[in-house]
Amino acid sequence: MIKAAIAGGTGYTGGELLRILLRHPDVEVVAATTTSSEDIPVSEIHRDLIGETDLKFGTDLGNPDVIFLCLGHGLSREFLDTRRPDSSCRIIDLGNDFRLDGDYSGRQFVYGLCESGKESIRQAHDIANPGCFATAIQLALLPLAGNGLIRDEIHATAITGSTGAGKKLSETSHFSYRESNISIYKLFTHQHLAEIRKNLGRLAGQEPVVNFVPMRGDFTRGIFASVYTRAVKGMTEGRYVGIFEDWYRDSPFVFHSGKGISLKEVVNTNKGLVHVELHDGYVHISSAIDNLVKGASGQAVQNMNLMFGLDETAGLRLKPSAF
């Protein structure tokens, strides 16, 4: 059994990791830490886990095989500097500390987008888990970048649920603000843009121009992205569809749908769905994921499975909710 520990286990991503790992056939959760809930049972914070575990939050991670860092952005570097985990212990960081520069404190963090670098993930010792918006938008663009079909600016609009803002309450995550409301934030400046450009540029040979409009939605979970760019001359819709189906043919979680997609088809799962169409000289791709699963904790477990030589889908065949 792989001994897993979670640093920062009281938040949304930490809770999702606990839900997945407690049911993982090859994992034992040995510790979950917090700075505010020491000695409190995990099930008192994550009430849906009543009867599922006797684990209590603490401050000691012990000596696990892998540590998942579910800390605030910028805190993972501080964690490595102060805790100094054993060099044999693997790290999967769900923050943004190592997505752009993976070389830190004697460790080399590999960017963990499974659909664009599976072999490097299998060989990695440490992983920088991608951002949720970055995952949704890149799933819409990887087949184009990998086949040299990005020739113009990319325009992306994506809407996320309130859990994407984290558990700490703020004015724009409060129920009275979110309910029956949609708003734009971080227009053209979102922090995930840099990793999107860098990883797509690695595939395409040069970084593309990506114009991104992020939106807050009046729901709790999921990301729906609308992405388009100018089509390459001579490319038909059928050829685009074929490229997407080929790219994701061996993916256990990402699928091209011949019909339009919606959020309900992916929420509570590690799935990513994409749908491509050609309109008046533009190729348009819809993309949908659950921001807490494929966009965070599920992808982290998928990365762990690859790193430890397990079945990629272990612990991740999650039941979707259709209604």
| Residues with active-site annotation | 132
| 45: helix, strand or coil | helix
Q: Is 296 helix (H, G, I), strand (E, B) or coil?
A: helix
Q: Are strands 27-33 and 2-7 parallel, antiparallel or unpaired?
A: parallel
CA 240 – CA 277 distance, rounded (Å): 8
What CA–CA distances, in Å, run from 290 to 93, 131, 267? 18, 12, 5
8 Å CB contact between 59 and 5? no
What's the token pair of residue 257?
């749908």
Q: Give how far Cα 70 sits from Cα of 8, 47, 160, 287, 320, Å.
A: 5, 19, 19, 25, 24
Q: Which token pair is 15?
A: 């809770």
C-alpha dist (Å) from residue 114 to 135, 312, 321 = 10, 10, 24
**Pairwise CA distance, residues 32 & 40, whole Å:** 11
* Spatial CA neighbour of 300 closest among 101, 52, 45, 7: 7
39 conformational bin, left if phi > 0, alpha if psi -120 to 50, beta if neither: left
